[in-house]
A = this chain, B = another copy of it.
């Protein structure tokens, strides 16, 4: 469990970094604004999950280390801004590990609170992507899940695999790695081959 906890805190810090970097694409908010956006990105998904499930105290209220992880993340983002922009591939990897981890953790949490599998899958995906959605709403960008290569769908696929293996009786640790790997694999393939889901509206119709 301690390894997973470490991952969670690291994942939170990383989401804060990606939030802080994204905050600068369009506008130039001040230090406070960047930190604020980093926070929202990092805690948004988990907070929404906990509030929808009525699971109190929500994770960062209970455990203050998440707040410190976010502060460290945004400070690092500001100090190593230049370097981090060069390390795009590394950042992509961290983001991918982050959403994979948050999806599985969110799905597990919903299950443990008695949610059905459909709700658990949604909560897993929400944990992973809603921080980014809130960030985009705050910074008036088109939400990430509407334009990026297969993103939230990868989370949903991982959550569904987790649930299937879970009901087949696969042990939790093996399931954790298998389902997480599916998310990472889909995401890497999607970006490498520039895959996106078919558009909804057929222009010719």
Contact = CB atoms under 8 A, between A and B. Distances in A.
Contact of A119 (B67, B140, B143, B153): B67
A138 B137 contact: yes
Contact of A146 (B33, B78, B152, B200): B33
How many copies of this kind of chain does the complex include? 3
A54 B59 CA distance: 12
A29 B200 contact: yes
B81 A205 contact: yes
Given A53-B57, A54-B54, A138-B143, 17 more contacts: A23-B200, A29-B200, A30-B146, A31-B198, A31-B199, A32-B145, A32-B153, A32-B156, A36-B146, A36-B152, A52-B58, A57-B115, A67-B118, A78-B200, A81-B202, A82-B205, A137-B138
A118 B27 contact: no
8 smallest A-B Cβ distances: which pairs? A54-B56, A30-B197, A33-B146, A34-B200, A29-B146, A24-B201, A31-B197, A32-B153
Contacts of A143: 138
> How big is the A interface, by class?
35 or more
A3 interface: no
A32 B119 contact: no
Contacts of A153: 32
A93 interface: no
A4 interface: no
A194 interface: no
B200 A28 contact: yes
A169 to B, nearest CB: 22
